């Protein structure tokens, strides 16, 4: 079983608030990813990182930002949340010897 954690699991906040979604993995994986999952289930890559101090935007444009200061930690930040940010956010990681990405349990965000 993969060791990748996300907190909080559920978050309800008001418009305009700044939030950070946490993602940590204890497997020493270099590559980490953030996906946004629509209520209709589709998954879209919004950010990825191939190592410390490396971050890239994914296929779906997002107002969120990420950082990768430590290998095990890949937080996602929204400076000013809006109702359009309501979604589930899934974090994943991939190591050199891993053959597929391992996913965290997700954070379900609701912005009122």
Partner 1 sequence: GNSVTQMEGPVTLSEEAFLTINCTYTATGYPSLFWYVQYPGEGLQLLLKATKADDKGSNKGFEATYRKETTSFHLEKGSVQVSDSAVYFCALDQGGKLIFGQGTELSVKP
The residue ranges that bind partner 1 (CB under 8 A) are 6, 31, 33, 40-43, 45, 48, 50, 58-59, 90, 92, 94, 99-106
- Of 27 and 43, nearer to partner 1 (C-beta) is 43
DSSP string, 27-76: S--SEEEEEEE-TT--EEEEEEEEETTEEEE-SS--S-EE--SBTTB--E
C-beta of 59 vs 84, nearer to partner 1: 59
Least distance (Å) between residue 44 CB and partner 1: 8
- For residues 76 and 63, the answer to whether their CB atoms sit within 8 Å is no
Between 14 and 39, name the residue whose CB sits nearer to partner 1.
39
SS3 state at 95: coil
- For residue 1, the minimal CB distance to partner 1 (Å) is 9
């Amino acid at each position: 079983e993969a060791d990748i954690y996300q907190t909080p699991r559920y978050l309800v906040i008001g418009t305009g608030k700044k939030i950070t979604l946490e993602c940590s993995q204890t497997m020493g994986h270099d590559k980490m990813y953030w996906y946004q999952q629509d209520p209709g289930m589709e998954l879209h890559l919004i950010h990825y990182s191939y190592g410390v101090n490396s971050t890239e935007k994914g296929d779906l444009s997002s107002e969120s930002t990420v950082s990768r200061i430590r290998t095990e930690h890949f937080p996602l930040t929204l400076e000013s949340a809006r109702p359009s940010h309501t979604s589930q956010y899934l974090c994943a990681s991939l190591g050199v010897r891993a053959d597929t990405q391992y996913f965290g349990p997700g954070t379900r965000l609701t912005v009122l």
